[in-house]
């Protein structure tokens, strides 16, 4: 948006293995969210190539892209992004609708994931009736229901106090190991960043080791 063209990512290269956990740190405005949006197929780079599970993402039309997003990607955001008018169970069922999962299995899968996240007693609550940590665990359940290959989390603990921050972070790491999902986390928190398999810093449009 706006008049001036801003080159945010420049000559950036990144390869992530299946099941690998990568953290990305960097100054505010360095382009971390931009990178995550491209990796999440929500935005397209002006040039370059992005291979996701062998698929050349930038060559896909909108229909294929939506399918790819629904089936191979999971998202967790700083602000949780739950739908306020739906209860917890319904929120977690939403991605299965987009992925074309048969309607009769959606509720059971969503329940299983919520129980796994320790929220079996909160199924019929609205997001506004939950704590920040609980909301983020709902968002994590929602991100995992379609067994994604790649889980993208932009400041997932940014709105949480320190105790809950560690819980949510450990939950993400546990899932990454148990489900062999690749996990890319953007964080301002060096201490959390160093817990990843690989900690990278985004600087001058490129990624380098921390
Ligand atoms: N919609 C937009 N229109 C114009 N410029 C934008 C827009 N979104 C982001 N930018 C610019 O692109 C650059 C990268 O932004 P980005 O949101 O990726 O940074 P970030 O590293 O995620 O920052 P933060 O840590 O504050 O979340 C910034 O200079 C920002 O001002
Ligand atoms: Mg950001």
Around Cβ 16, how many Cβ atoms within 10 Å?
16
Global pTM? 0.94
Distance 141 CA to ligand 2 centre (A): 22
Ligand nearest to the CA of 2: 1
Residue written as tokens 């229901």?
145
- Locate the domains of the chain by residue range: 21-44+53-209
pLDDT < 50 stretches in the chain: none
pLDDT of residue 186: 96
Ligand 1, pocket residues at CB < 6 Å: 1-2, 6, 8, 26, 28-34
Of 101, 139, 104, 105, give the one whose Cα is nearest residue 119: 139
Mutation to probe ligand 1, out of 34, 157, 205 (largest number of atoms < 8 A from CB):
34
- Which residues have a beta carbon within 5 Å of ligand 2, which is an ion? 33
Which pLDDT does position 162 carry in this prediction?
A: 87
CA–CA dist 203, 10 (Å, integer): 10
The confidence score (pLDDT) of residue 2 equals: 84
Determine whether domain 21-44+53-209 maps to CATH 3.30.460.80: no
């Amino acid at each position: 948006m706006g008049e001036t063209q801003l080159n945010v990512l420049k000559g950036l290269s990144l390869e992530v293995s299946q099941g690998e956990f990568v953290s990305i740190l960097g100054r505010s405005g360095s382009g971390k969210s931009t990178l995550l949006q491209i990796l999440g197929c929500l935005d397209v780079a002006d040039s370059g190539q992005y291979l996701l599970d062998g698929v050349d993402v930038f060559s896909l039309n909108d229909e294929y892209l939506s399918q790819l997003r629904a089936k191979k990607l999971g998202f967790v955001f700083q602000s949780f992004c739950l739908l306020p008018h739906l209860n917890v169970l319904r929120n977690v069922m939403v991605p299965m609708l987009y992925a074309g999962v048969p309607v009769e299995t959606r509720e059971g899968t969503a329940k299983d994931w919520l129980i796994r996240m320790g929220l079996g007693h909160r199924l019929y609550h609205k997001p506004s009736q939950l704590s920040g940590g609980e909301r983020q665990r709902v968002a994590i359940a929602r991100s995992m229901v379609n067994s994604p290959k790649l889980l993208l989390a932009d400041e997932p603990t940014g709105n949480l106090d320190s105790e809950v921050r560690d819980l949510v972070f450990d939950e993400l790491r546990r899932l990454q190991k148990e489900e062999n999902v690749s996990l890319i986390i953007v964080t301002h928190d060096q201490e959390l960043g160093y817990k990843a398999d690989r900690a990278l810093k985004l600087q001058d449009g490129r990624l380098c080791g921390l």
